[in-house]
């Protein structure tokens, strides 16, 4: 019998390794950025075309490579970071396994230009599918430039799994932000299809966060600082009132490396216990410095998960330091909720001599006399025109609601309880006299020939608005209400890219954008169904829904847009409706194409037949 086990060819092994390292264009951006940082670059520039599918170019001003190093860096497991297995437990660099460039070169066209400071000329190497096509000397500035073109050109199946450009670009921006937040001392810039997305100058941690997420972020940040033998923590958490409904602004960095840790995330959430609204998540940018020997980075291919020696102690320290910061900056409530800080005794009064208070008494003071302008006192006579003996006349005219007692005196108003003949309080639950009434400010109850119909008012209104919005987006334009003063709302760069993508659809629903800048929009008109105070909340929820849905096709994006807007604009449970509003919801609901289900596939109404009611009384 012949042998069945054989060694894989190098190019096949490289493509298999690339499947672990390179999942999408964002993976290439991450690996190349980390290499530039390890090379000592202080200014890094990224150029991306078609979300990285066509071109990813990373240029740095690091120390560069020699001719031999430039050729050797594309070999598998070729690295300058470690020499022995023990070095894996004292890592202070980003990359260390020597797989990134070899994996990228196996599935793309790669061009490398690099020069060291002492060399007169640099080296240019071109590789296609792990094969070196050319290597020659070239003129290039100090540092390294790597161009990755036509990603997955030789693996069309992998290329077909990539999402739309907008989705892939969001992943690229996410990876860029994670690296940029960890290294504020390095200057970064990111360009997509020739337009500038980020220009981040050298800064401190707070400035870097503000430069990435917008100027309004500065007022939301609460500093966190803690130094122990186990871990050194510094960074910022967001104030509870600015908590978002998504987890977009949550970042952990361990030794300047972005990580994901549900366990540590739970510690942060525990520190905010009692301060957050339902389904709201706090923002945090936390940097943890630990001994490299106490963590294991090499447990995940993308190195976003690491293992700690003493997770429990880390959990406790992190939670305590965040609670301390929230209390220190008066973010967390104190025991005395009515305490006025302005009434606290100043510190300089601690050494002041105590003097007993002086009490002065006026023996001639009479509280029943009023002082005259010329001196002396007179007894007030409130009803001088009436005889004191005719006491019955004091009550004349007091049955009215605002009876004047005397000329020039204040008016007295009397409230009367409203008496109703309704035994079960129908006025509170809903108005009687129509074909519908409201139950518990949540359900609309109406009658049928065969029984009773109970409608969930919020789900019903969501269904009505959903179909109306779909019609407006795809067929006709909605009516807008003009704002007297334009509304200016700030967003992060990622959110602005998404907003520009759906701008046309939003304008069809009734929004009017008078100005769209790099990090903010100015809205001069809004749909008639929403109020000005709801616009920012509605748009934030919409962008969050679109990010979570990750829409690929245009139709699914429009569908998500209509669902999110309908949910935000619909009348909420707990809102009192009059008879006309109740009947309008009932009539509009049964004019919909699909009246029994909400856009989120939840039942809108239930029916109770007479037979079912009869069984309840048996």
What is the rounded distance in angstroms from the CA atom of residue 466 to the CA atom of residue 593? 11
Check: pTM over 0.85? Answer yes or no: no
Burial profile 177-191: b = 16 or more Cβ within 10 angstroms, e = fewer: bbbbbbbbebbbbbb
Which residues, listed in sequence order, are joined to residue 516 by a DSSP beta bridge? 521
Residue 249: closest CA among 543, 46, 467, 530:
543
Residues 6 or more apart in contact with residue 86 via CB below 8 angstroms: none
Residue 604: closest CA among 456, 465, 448:
456
Under-70 pLDDT residues of the chain: 1, 11, 14-20, 79-98, 298-303, 331-350, 370-434, 549-556
Q: Are 568 and 534 in contact (CB under 8 A)?
A: yes
Residue 285: closest CA among 216, 212, 228, 202:
212
Residue 324: closest CA among 252, 235, 223, 242:
223
Residue 168: closest CA among 1, 26, 58, 64:
26
Sign (positive/negative) of CA torsion 139, 37, 200, 198? positive
pLDDT of residue 425: 40
Q: Are 516 and 469 in contact (CB under 8 A)?
A: no
10 Å CB burial of residue 324 (0-12, 13-18, 19+) is middle
Which residues, listed in sequence order, are joined to residue 305 by a DSSP beta bridge? none
Q: Are 70 and 105 in contact (CB under 8 A)?
A: no
10 Å CB burial of residue 265 (0-12, 13-18, 19+) is middle
pLDDT of residue 433: 41
Residue 473: closest CA among 563, 551, 588:
563
Residue 190: closest CA among 204, 180, 203:
180
Q: Are 595 and 447 in contact (CB under 8 A)?
A: no
Residue 317: closest CA among 250, 255, 225, 243:
225
Q: Are 104 and 15 in contact (CB under 8 A)?
A: no
Q: Are 415 and 572 in contact (CB under 8 A)?
A: no
What is the rounded distance in angstroms from the CA atom of residue 73 to the CA atom of residue 146? 12
Residue 284: closest CA among 316, 243, 317, 232:
243
Where helices occur in 183-233 by DSSP H, the ranges are: 205-213
Sign (positive/negative) of CA torsion 551, 557, 559, 564? positive
pLDDT of residue 384: 47
pLDDT of residue 370: 62
DSSP letter assigned to residue 356: P
**Could you count the other beta carbons within 10 Å of the beta carbon of residue 96?**
18
**Which domains are delineated in the chain?**
10-200 (3.30.565.10), 212-328 (3.30.230.10), 438-605 (3.30.1370.100)
Place of tokens 């690296």: 179
Task: Please give, one letter per residue, the 3-state secondary structure of 462-485.
Answer: HHHHHHHHHHHHHCCCCCEEEEEE
Residue 598: closest CA among 469, 446, 464, 439:
464
Transcribe 418-462 into DSSP letters.
PP---TT-HHHH--SSSSEEEETTTEEEEE-SSEEEEEEHHHHHH
Residue 467: closest CA among 354, 360, 566:
566
Three-class secondary structure of residue 346 per DSSP: coil
- Cα of 397 vs its chain's centroid, Å: 62
**Could you count the other beta carbons within 10 Å of the beta carbon of residue 253?**
19
Q: What is the pLDDT of residues 595-604, one digit of tens each?
A: 899 988 899 9
Which value, in Å, is the radius of gyration of the alpha carbons in the chain?
A: 35
């Amino acid at each position: 019998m012949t042998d069945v086990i054989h060694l894989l060819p190098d190019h096949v092994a490289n493509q298999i390794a690339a499947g672990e390292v390179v999942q999408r264009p964002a993976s290439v951006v991450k690996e190349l950025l980390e290499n530039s940082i390890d090379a000592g670059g202080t200014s890094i520039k990224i150029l991306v075309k078609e979300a990285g599918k066509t071109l990813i170019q990373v240029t740095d001003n690091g120390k560069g490579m020699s001719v031999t190093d430039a050729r050797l860096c594309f070999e598998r497991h070729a690295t300058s970071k470690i020499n022995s297995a023990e070095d894996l437990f004292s890592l202070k660099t980003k990359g260390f396994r020597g797989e990134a460039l070899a994996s990228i070169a196996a599935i793309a066209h790669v061009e490398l230009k690099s020069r060291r400071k002492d060399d007169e000329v640099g080296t240019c190497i071109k590789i296609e599918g792990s094969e070196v096509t050319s290597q020659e000397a070239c003129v290039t500035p100090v540092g390294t430039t790597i161009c990755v073109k036509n990603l997955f050109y030789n693996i069309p199946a992998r290329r077909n799994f990539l999402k739309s450009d907008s989705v892939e670009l969001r992943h690229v921006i996410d990876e860029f932000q994670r690296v940029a937040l960890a290294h504020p001392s390095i200057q970064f810039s990111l360009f997509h299809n020739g337009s500038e997305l980020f220009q981040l100058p050298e800064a401190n941690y707070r400035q870097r966060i503000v430069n990435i997420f917008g100027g309004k972020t500065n007022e939301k940040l609460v500093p966190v600082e803690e130094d122990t033998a186990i871990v050194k923590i510094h960074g910022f958490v967001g104030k509870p009132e600015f908590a978002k409904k998504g987890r977009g602004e949550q970042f952990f960095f361990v030794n300047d490396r972005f990580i994901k840790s549900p366990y540590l995330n739970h510690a942060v959430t525990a520190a905010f216990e009692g301060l957050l609204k339902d389904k709201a998540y706090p923002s945090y940018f936390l940097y943890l410095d630990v001994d490299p020997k106490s963590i294991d980075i090499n447990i995940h291919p993308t190195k976003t998960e690491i293992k700690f020696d003493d997770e429990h102690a880390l959990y406790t320290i992190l939670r305590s330091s965040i609670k301390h910061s929230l209390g220190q900056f008066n973010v967390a409530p104190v025991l005395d909720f009515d305490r006025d800080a302005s009434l606290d005794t100043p510190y300089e009064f601690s050494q002041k001599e105590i003097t007993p208070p002086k009490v002065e008494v006026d023996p001639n003071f009479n509280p029943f006399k009023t002082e005259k302008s010329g001196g002396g006192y007179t007894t007030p006579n409130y009803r001088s025109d009436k005889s004191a003996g005719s006491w019955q006349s004091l009550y004349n005219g007091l049955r009215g609601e605002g009876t004047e007692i005397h000329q020039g005196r204040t008016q007295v108003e009397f409230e009367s309880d409203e008496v109703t003949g309704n035994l079960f309080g129908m006025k509170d639950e809903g108005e009687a006299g129509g074909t519908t009434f409201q139950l518990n400010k949540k359900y609309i109850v109406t009658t049928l020939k065969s029984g009773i119909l109970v409608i969930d008012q919020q789900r019903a209104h969501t269904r009505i608005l959903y179909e109306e919005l779909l019609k407006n987006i795809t067929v006709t334009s909605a009516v807008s209400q003009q704002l007297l003063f334009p509304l200016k709302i700030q967003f992060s760069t990622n959110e602005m890219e998404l907003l520009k993508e759906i701008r046309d659809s939003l304008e069809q629903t009734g929004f009017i954008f008078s100005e769209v800048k790099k990090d903010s929009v100015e809205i001069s008109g809004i749909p008639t169904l929403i109020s000005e105070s709801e616009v920012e909340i509605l748009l934030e929820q919409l962008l969050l829904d679109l990010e979570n849905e990750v829409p690929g096709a245009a139709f699914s994006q429009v569908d998500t847009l209509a669902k999110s807007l309908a949910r935000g604009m619909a009348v909420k449970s707990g809102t009192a409706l009059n008879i006309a509003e109740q009947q309008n919801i009932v009539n509009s609901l049964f004019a919909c194409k699909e009246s029994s289900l909400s856009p989120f596939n939840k039942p809108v109404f239930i029916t109770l037949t007479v037979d079912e009611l009869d069984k309840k009384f048996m």
